[in-house]
Chains A and B, each alone.
Chain A
Amino acid sequence: MRPQLAQTNRTQLFFTYFMDCQTPGKPGGGRDQTWEIAETAVRGIVDLFEEEGLIHGLGLCSEPEVAARQPDLFNEMLGRGTWQAVHFQVRGYRPPGAAQDYDWDRPLSFYEYEEQREVLAIAKDHWEQALGREALDYGACCHMGNDWTFPILDELGYRQCYVSGPGRYNPDPKVGHFWWGAYPFSHHASSKCRLVPGELELYEITVTRTLNPEEVRPGVWMPTDYRPELERDYDATMAIAEAWVQDMIRRGHPVLYLFAATHNTWDVGDKSHPRRKALETTIQVSRDLADRLGLQLVPASMADIHREADLLNAF
């Protein structure tokens, strides 16, 4: 019987952007972050994306603690057209009613099945109670996950996620990055192994970054991305984005996309801020790259990209 191959969409370049909304004082957040900055950051990025006509591509991905503290803010932004996700950092997490925090020094990468399932289920419920809606999208803070993570997320009802950091490798017990050899682009996740496309309904969307990790210290590898915090200029941003899309084209990847992130740790509304300029540069690069390749830039949520991938019978 003639097989049904994965197809390719070569008319659109999907553009997705997200803000990791992290809890002040917890690992992963900015050192001097405050709740006020956390709100200013969200308002600033939503205003910017509205002005650019890209609001539909913007996601606000909040830790349960942030969702619980700022539910009105996130519900307001949902009404303005953003997509939203649970963003989760287990280190230092205290579930509602619990007497103590989860271990502040133990990344999720080292959690076994039962304990990982339990905490992810608690966090999902926590977030859903705070925002009054179902969580279908998930983001792993600091790319901390392991072979159990994808099947657990799938089992809990998530449909899209960003967990992996392809190329990142650092086995330090305080870091837990085991993403060497991970599939570099969007794919359905596997219930057997964190690194390969698989049979799960859950669709993993990897962040745009360089494709050849650098050995930054002996035994530690890192790719680089263009988060605004790095304040990259136009040429450096374009180099990463163009290599990324060209690689997808050469390998016949079903959907072409750009997927970048920032954090709720700075005032995005401050138009003089170099990070703000870097964020604007990212948007400009995306528009220019789409033009250069004869593609239509389409702001999209993770769910939109997943839906398009399924239309194409994508792996």
Chain B
Amino acid sequence: MKPNLTQKNREQLFFIYFMDCQTPRKPGGGRDQTWEIAELAVRGLYELFAGRGLEHCLGFCSEPELARRQSGLLTEMVANGCWHALHFQVRGYRPPGASEDYDWHRPMTWYDYDEQREAIAIAKDDWEQSMGMAADSFGACCAQANDYTFPILAELGFRQSYCSAPGRWNPNPEVGHLWHGAFPHTHHASSTCRLIPGELELYEFPITRGLDPIPAGQPGTWTVKDCRAEAELSFEDTMAICRASVEDQMRRDHPVLYLHNPTHNTWDVGDRTSGRRRAVETTIDVGYALADELSLELTPCSLAELHAEADRLNAY
């Protein structure tokens, strides 16, 4: 019987941007972050994207603690057309009604199946109660996850995620980045291994980044460059990363072409003089320029929409 091969879309370049909305003073957040800055960041980023008619591709990915504290702000952004996700950092997480925090020094990477499933289920419920909506997308703070994470997310009903950081490798117990050899572009996740495409309905979205890991400082550790606003990359450097990623997707006949870039709620995006603000604007400019260069239509979209497009193409 003739197999049903994966097809590819070579008309559109999908463009996704998201803000990790982290809890002030928890691991992963900015050192001097405040709740006020957290709100300014969200409002500033929304205004920037809305000003360019791109609010539809903008995601606010919030920790449960933050969704509790700023639910009004986040539901306002839902009404504005942005997509949302649960962003989760287990280190220091205190569930509603609990008397103590989860371990502040133990990344999710080291959680076994049962304890990981329990923590993520609690966090999902926590977030959903605050937001009054189902959480169908998940982001792993600091790319901390392991082989159990994808099947747990699928089991809990998540349909999209960004957990992996292909190329990052740091087995330090306080870091837990075990992504050497991870599949570099979007794919359905696997229930047997975190690194490969698989059979799960859950669709994983690695962010746009350099494809060749570089030494991360400590011997035996590797990292990759990405286009996060905090890096304040120039147009040329941003374009180099984005172009290499899309060219790699094209050379390997990846079903969908996409750019997926982040920032964090740790700075005032509304400050037009900020170098980070200019970096966000640059990322958008690069998206359009690259689409033009490759004769593609830049298509702002959410994680769920790109997942739907991948499924239409019978993507792995």
**Chain A residues close to B by CB (< 8 Å):** 1-6, 113-114, 147-148, 151, 155, 169, 178, 180-181, 183-184, 187, 190-193, 195-199, 212, 247, 250-253, 313-315
Q: Nearest CB to that of B179 among chain A residues?
A: A251
Residue in A3, A148, A196 whose beta carbon sits within 8 Å of that of B196 in the complex = A196
* Neighbour of A5 across the interface among B5, B147, B197, B315, CB < 8 A: B147
Closest chain-B Cβ to A3's Cβ sits at a distance in Å of: 4
25 contacts between A and B (CB under 8 A): A1-B155, A3-B147, A5-B192, A113-B3, A181-B252, A187-B196, A191-B3, A192-B5, A192-B6, A192-B316, A195-B253, A196-B196, A196-B197, A197-B196, A197-B197, A212-B212, A250-B169, A250-B180, A252-B178, A252-B195, A253-B181, A314-B192, A315-B190, A315-B192, A315-B198
B104 contacts chain A at the CB level, 8 A cutoff? no
Cβ < 8 Å to A, chain B residues 1-55: 1-6
A-facing residues in B178-215 (Cβ within 8 Å): 178, 180-181, 183-184, 187, 190-193, 195-199, 212
Main secondary structure, interface of A, reads loop
Which chain A residues lie closer than 8 Å to B5 at the CB level?
147-148, 191-193
**Interface of B toward A, CB cutoff 8 Å:** 1-6, 113-114, 147-148, 151, 155, 169, 178, 180-181, 183-184, 187, 190-193, 195-199, 212, 248, 251-254, 314-316
CA distance A251 to B194 in the complex (A): 10
Q: A192-B4, A250-B181 are in contact. Are A4 and B192 (CB under 8 A)?
A: yes
Given A180-B252, A181-B248: A196 in contact with B316 (beta carbons within 8 A):
yes
A220 to chain B minimum Cβ distance, whole angstroms, is 11
CB-contact partner of B193 in A5, A155, A180, A196, under 8 A: A5
| CB atoms of A190 and B316 under 8 A apart | yes
B3 and A148 form a contact (CB under 8 A): yes
For the complex formed, measure the closest distance between the CB of B44 and the CB atoms of chain A, giving whole angstroms: 37
Most central of B1, B2, B184, B315 by chain A CB within 10 Å: B2
Could you tell me the distance between the alpha carbons of A187 and B196 in the complex, rounded to whole angstroms?
10
> Would you give the shortest CB distance from B163 to chain A, in whole angstroms?
15
Q: Which residue of A lies closest to B147 (CB)?
A: A5
Q: Which residues of A contact B316 (CB under 8 A)?
A: 190, 192-193, 196, 198
